[in-house]
Amino acid sequence: MARVKYLQRADSPNQAIFDRLERERKLPTANIFLALTQTPELLGGFLTYANALRSSPLSPRLRELAILTVGHLTKSRYEIAHHQSHGLKAGLTQAQLDAVPQFESSALYDAQERAVMAFAKQSTLQVEVAPQTWRDVAAFLSQPELIALVLVVAWYNSGVRIMAGLDIELEEGYH
pLDDT at 133 over 90: yes
The pLDDT of residue 144 is 98
* Residue 1, in any domain of the structure: no
* Residue 16, in any domain of the structure: yes
The whole-chain average pLDDT of the chain stands at 95
The pLDDT of residue 173 is 79
Are residue 126 and residue 98 in the same domain, yes or no? yes
pLDDT per residue as tens digits for the range 3-62: 999 999 999 999 999 999 999 987 788 999 999 999 999 999 999 999 999 999 999 999
* Residue 87, in any domain of the structure: yes
* Residue 171, in any domain of the structure: no
Angle between the N-to-C axes of helices 60-73 and 40-54, in degrees from 0 to 180, rounded to the nearest 10:
130
Tell me what the mean pLDDT of segment 111-120 comes to: 98
For the chain, give the DSSP string: --SS----GGG-S-HHHHHHHHHHS-SSPPHHHHHHTTSHHHHHHHHHHHHHHHTSSS-HHHHHHHHHHHHHHTT-HHHHHHHHHHHHHTT--HHHHHHGGGGGG-TTS-HHHHHHHHHHHHHHHHSS--HHHHHHHHTTS-HHHHHHHHHHHHHHHHHHHHHHHHTPPPPGGG-
Tell me what the mean pLDDT of segment 144-152 comes to: 98
pLDDT at 87 over 80: yes
The pLDDT of residue 26 is 79
Spatial distance between the Cα atoms of 5 and 1, rounded to a whole number of angstroms = 9
Are residue 13 and residue 86 in the same domain, yes or no? no
Are residue 49 and residue 102 in the same domain, yes or no? no
Q: How confident is the model at residue 109 (pLDDT cuts 50, 70, 90)?
A: very high
CB 108 within 8 A of CB 95: yes
Q: Could you tell me what percent of the chain has a pLDDT over 70?
A: 99
pLDDT at 166 over 70: yes
Beta carbons within 10 angstroms of residue 133's beta carbon? 17
Nearest to 61 by CA among 105, 25, 110: 110
Are residue 83 and residue 161 in the same domain, yes or no? yes
Are residue 90 and residue 158 in the same domain, yes or no? yes
Nearest to 158 by CA among 12, 36, 56: 36
- What's the structural domain count of the chain? 2
The pLDDT of residue 175 is 63
Are residue 80 and residue 110 in the same domain, yes or no? yes
Are residue 136 and residue 160 in the same domain, yes or no? yes
Domain assignment of residue 74, given as a range = 60-165
Please tell me the pTM assigned to this model: 0.94
The pLDDT of residue 28 is 86
Q: What is the CATH number of the domain that holds 67?
A: 1.20.1290.10
CB 92 within 8 A of CB 65: yes
Are residue 64 and residue 148 in the same domain, yes or no? yes
